[in-house]
Amino acid sequence: MEKTFKYEKEDWQKFQSYLETDLCRSKKMWHESVWFNLISWFVIAIVFFTFFQSKSEFSWATAGIVSFFFVSIYAQLVLTGIKFKKLCAPSEKGSFIGEHRFRFNESSIQSEGLGYTATHDWSVVKRVAKTNDAIYLFLDNAVAYIFPLSQIEDSGQFYEYINTKINVAASSN
């Protein structure tokens, strides 16, 4: 089977959005646990109520300045994240945007595009994900072949074909 896809920058953006939510959902950090959050909020509440129970006066000006400081730090972190995301976006003159040809055979996936040719055995495919926009063939945690559904005539049949190839490769290993 042979397929040709023409990638746009939007295809990469949809993949990045999927990847961000998928990786965040699958990899929980220690500070994201329910117990850590419960204890943290409990400590914050005790400190807050202890402060308001004291006889000292509350200064709204000081609270505003301190709040502004923390909101500024948060805004800088968000803007830095947006900057890094834009820096990782594919270039208009790079090898991602444009036409890519894929040949699927019994043993491998062969891809070809501007300045590259690659062959991957079916056994290196870690998982398949199907969204409303595309089918992703993950070769690693964050590396995947992208097959936009808008460019596939029968996406159900294509998805079944890929799953069959992956299952056959997995059973032979």
Task: Show me where the domains of the chain are located.
Answer: 2-7+95-172, 21-88
Look at residue 128 in the predicted model and tell me its pLDDT. 92
Residues 6-48: tens digit of each pLDDT: 999 999 999 998 988 887 777 777 777 888 889 999 998 888 7
Specify the CATH number of the domain 2-7+95-172.
2.30.29.30
- Provide the 10 A C-beta neighbour count for residue 19: 17
Kindly state the average pLDDT of the residues 62-66: 85
Kindly state the average pLDDT of the residues 115-142: 91
| Band (118; pLDDT cuts 50, 70, 90) | very high
Look at residue 55 in the predicted model and tell me its pLDDT. 62
Look at residue 173 in the predicted model and tell me its pLDDT. 66
| Band (92; pLDDT cuts 50, 70, 90) | confident
**Higher-pLDDT residue of 51, 151:** 151
| Band (100; pLDDT cuts 50, 70, 90) | very high
In the chain, alpha helices (H): 9-26, 34-53, 60-87, 155-172
Residues 9-20: tens digit of each pLDDT: 999 999 998 988
Look at residue 54 in the predicted model and tell me its pLDDT. 65
Cα-based distances in Å from 69 to 43, 65, 75, 151: 22, 6, 10, 48
- Cα 38 to chain centroid, rounded: 28
